[in-house]
Amino acid sequence: MGVDLLQIGSMRAQRAALDRLHASVMIADDSLRITYMNAAMWKMMREAEPDLVHEMSQFQVAKIIGSTIDIFHKNPNHQRSVLATLEKPHPTMFAVGKREFDILITPIMIRGRRNGFVVEWTDARQRIQNVDYSAQITAIGRVQAVIEFMPTGEILNANENFLRVLGYRLEEIRGKHHRMFVDPQQAAGQDYAAFWQQLAQGQYKAGEFPRVTKDGRQVWIQGSYNPVFDEQGKVMKVVKFSTDVTGRMHGVMQIGTALTALADGDVSRRIDEPLIPELDKLRVDFNRAGEYLNETMRSVGQAAVSVRTGSDEIRSASEDLSRRTEQQAASLEETAAALDEITSKVKRTAEGARHARDVVGNAKTDAEKSGDVVREAVKSMGGIEASSQQIGQIIGVIDEIAFQTNLLALNAGVEAARAGEAGRGFAVVAQEVRVLAQRSAEAAKEIKTLISESARQVAAGVNFVGEAGRALARIAGHVTEINTAIGEIAGSAQEQALGLDEVNTTVIQMDQVTQQNAAMVEQSTAASHSLAGEAAELARLMARFRIDDAAEATELSRKPPAATAAPAAASKTARGVVTFAARGRRASPPYVAASNKMAVAEEAWSEF
């Protein structure tokens, strides 16, 4: 827009034309006072007002008309000095806050005299973005391979990086289809056709793709296919940005092959070919790790052989110990039962001894009482003997009285006979008295005889009772000695019973501990069998690895001896039946090494 436009027509027509412009236009007079803004300018100012107010607190869009351009500047003197001598369009940039504007100031010249200014404002964001995008595209083009296609796959353009990687010149590929870079068999597939259909529909594609160079070599390109849309949103072309990653893919394949061999157990595999700098350290680290792993596996193999030998010895020793422990448990069990029975018998003996002691004590008491009774009997017999002697003496007196009576009766008979008839009655009485005296004398004689015999027997009885008393005294002495001995026996039996009870308790505890030891031995035996199985499994797993030591591999591959089943022993005790077995310990399942085979997998559209 120039000065000529403002000079054509009336001012009203000029402003009507300016209002229809998409450009944002402002007019200021020669004194730099703003006199006009078209509709696009008003819209721009209203959108920018928050940012302008943030930087210039007194700014108001409604007060722009009539204000000078000084409202947009912190140092207006500089702008005024520039505009004072301006005679041709002057481009500049105005930045305020987050806003950046491109400004074109054109002086209004009438008859060679400056009459005002037309200021055209443009939002600089789009220009800056375009400059940034252009710089980015230029930078990308310097480091990446760039090629452009029609949405149907025909080649439009390619930069030198792409041509150098594939070995073509631009005229050799322009206008031809993308399939010239792809293996023919893959290019004929449905996936390839679907790939370009999806790009034509605006779908983005990225990945690592194998490509065929002009001389038939295979290269790997990491890139992205980017659909470019027109203003109607239709794909007008496809731009591919890519990087040659053949060296990296070759290194990855080399490392993947080596890792596959490592996963298969070959720890002797090494990567001798140098790789690209980014991957060569990985190659060196892999080789160093392989060396370390080889040495480690050799040491593990030797340890596995030692463990297998040791586990076999432990298993054999555990089985022998288990058998001996079972025998010891059974013997100790029988000993405990026998001691228990002996303890019961000793307790019964002690109880019998205590009872005998009580009985003997009672017998001693009764013997002492019997001695007292015998002594009293001896005294009574002595009294009876004395009474018998007195009775004998009395009987003697009676006998003498009877003799004297008989003499008197005899004298009386003589006298009666002398008296004759007068003395006949007296003679009869005398005769009767004489008869009675004779009978009394005979009775007295018989009584005397009986009393003499009784006295003799009483004397004999006294002797016998005396002997019995002395015997009872001796019995009492012996019973006392027996009581003392039985008391000592009872005390000893009680002490023995207590001692045997303690021994029995100790033996029972020993039996329990032995039973527990037997259980632990069984567990140890089961664990040794499990260890032997695991050692055999370790040896089997180690045999899978190929190390650079044939002797080690031969020793590791040696078949281990067959492991005998761990016995489950049962031992019966006085308190019940205890069955010993391993407490649920099972051999770990064979470890299966995962084959982490690393390989470079092709993408679903790897033929592109």
The per-residue pLDDT for 564 is 46
* Cα–Cα dist 270/600, whole Å: 19
Residues 511-522: tens digit of each pLDDT:
788 788 878 777
The per-residue pLDDT for 437 is 79
Residues 92-147: tens digit of each pLDDT:
888 877 788 888 999 988 887 888 899 998 888 877 777 776 677 766 667 688 99
Average pLDDT of every residue of the chain: 78
The count of other CB atoms within 10 Å of the CB of residue 27 is 19
Taking only Cα atoms into account, the Rg of the chain, rounded to an integer number of angstroms, comes to: 73
Stretch among 94-108, 251-265, 430-444 having the lowest mean pLDDT: 430-444
Highest mean pLDDT among 262-276, 361-375, 454-468, 485-499: 262-276
Whether 283 and 254 have beta carbons less than 8 Å apart is answered as: yes
The per-residue pLDDT for 593 is 36
Nearest Cα to 294, choosing from 581, 35, 546, 513? 546
Global pTM exceeds 0.85: no
pLDDT band at 432 (very low <50, low <70, confident <90, very high): confident
pLDDT over threshold 70, residue 11:
no
Mean pLDDT on 373-385 = 76
The per-residue pLDDT for 192 is 93
Collapsing DSSP states into helix, strand and coil, what is residue 28?
strand
10 Å CB burial of residue 262 (0-12, 13-18, 19+) is: buried
* Cα–Cα dist 339/506, whole Å: 11
Assigned token pair, 7: 């000079």
pLDDT: which is higher, 449 or 117: 117
pLDDT over threshold 50, residue 377:
yes
pLDDT band at 555 (very low <50, low <70, confident <90, very high): low
- Letter for the amino acid at 583? R
The per-residue pLDDT for 588 is 39
Mean pLDDT on 424-429 = 77
pLDDT: which is higher, 240 or 398: 240
* Cα–Cα dist 235/224, whole Å: 16
Whether 529 and 322 have beta carbons less than 8 Å apart is answered as: no
The per-residue pLDDT for 467 is 80
pLDDT over threshold 90, residue 195:
yes
Separation of CA 71 from chain center: 77
pLDDT: which is higher, 415 or 227: 227
pLDDT band at 1 (very low <50, low <70, confident <90, very high): very low
Residues 319-359: tens digit of each pLDDT:
787 787 778 778 777 887 877 788 787 778 877 777 877 87
pLDDT band at 563 (very low <50, low <70, confident <90, very high): very low
* Cα–Cα dist 360/483, whole Å: 6
Cα 98 to Cα 40, 75, 95, 123, 456, distances in angstroms? 20, 19, 8, 11, 166
Assigned token pair, 547: 């190390």
Residue where the block lists tokens 């019964």: 348
10 Å CB burial of residue 535 (0-12, 13-18, 19+) is: buried
pLDDT: which is higher, 35 or 568: 35
Assigned token pair, 343: 């303890």
pLDDT band at 12 (very low <50, low <70, confident <90, very high): low
Stretch among 47-56, 91-100, 546-555, 565-574 having the lowest mean pLDDT: 565-574
Whether 529 and 588 have beta carbons less than 8 Å apart is answered as: no
Residue % of the chain over a pLDDT of 90: 17
Residue 534 is classified by DSSP as H
* Cα–Cα dist 155/171, whole Å: 10
pLDDT band at 87 (very low <50, low <70, confident <90, very high): confident
Whether 127 and 102 have beta carbons less than 8 Å apart is answered as: yes
pLDDT band at 557 (very low <50, low <70, confident <90, very high): low
Residue 177 is classified by DSSP as B
Q: Which residues contact 501 (CB under 8 A, 6 or more apart)?
A: 343, 347
pLDDT band at 65 (very low <50, low <70, confident <90, very high): very high
The per-residue pLDDT for 134 is 67
Q: Residue 45: phi, psi to the nearest 5? A: -65, -40
* Cα–Cα dist 248/222, whole Å: 10
